[in-house]
Amino acid sequence: MEEKKLTRRQWLERGSVLGLVVLGGVPALSACGGGELDCTNPQGLSGDNRTQRQALSYVDHAPNATQRCEVCNFYTAAQPNQCGSCTLNLGPVNPAGYCSSFVARS
C-alpha cells in the first residue's frame, strides 16, 4: 500500500477548514435552539439579585423535574430559549431552574 505524504501547506489548509467547521458549528447550534440555556450569570444581574439567589439557594437546573421555575407561581416566561423572570427579585431565571421558595402554579 502506498503511503501518501502531505506537504506542510496541505496540512495547514486542511487544519484551517476543520477549524472553521468546528467554530462555525457552535453558534449554529445555539441559533437553532441546540444550545443549553444558561441563566446562572445573566447580563444585568444586580447585587441584590445575587444575594437573593444565594438566600433562596437558586440553581439553574431543578433537582426535581416537577418543581422548576416554569411551573412556579412566581415565574413569568420570556421568549423561547431565553431566561424568564421571577417576582422574588432573583433577576432572570432559567425556566428549568429552582429555588427554595418554589410554589406550584395553581
The contact set with ligand SF4 (CB under 6 A) reads 58, 69, 72, 74-75, 86, 88, 90, 93, 97-99, 101-102
Q: Please identify, using beta-carbon distances, which residue of 16 and 46 lies nearer to ligand SF4.
A: 46
What element of type H or E holds 76? strand 75-76
Q: Please identify, using beta-carbon distances, which residue of 13 and 36 lies nearer to ligand SF4.
A: 36
Q: Please identify, using beta-carbon distances, which residue of 5 and 47 lies nearer to ligand SF4.
A: 47
- Left if phi > 0, otherwise alpha if psi is -120 to 50, otherwise beta: which for 19? alpha
Least Å from the CB of residue 52 to ligand SF4: 9
Cβ atoms 69, 62 nearer than 8 A: yes
Least Å from the CB of residue 35 to ligand SF4: 21
Residue 84: name the closest of 10, 105, 64 by CA. 105
CA 29 to chain centroid, in Å, comes to: 12
Least Å from the CB of residue 95 to ligand SF4: 9
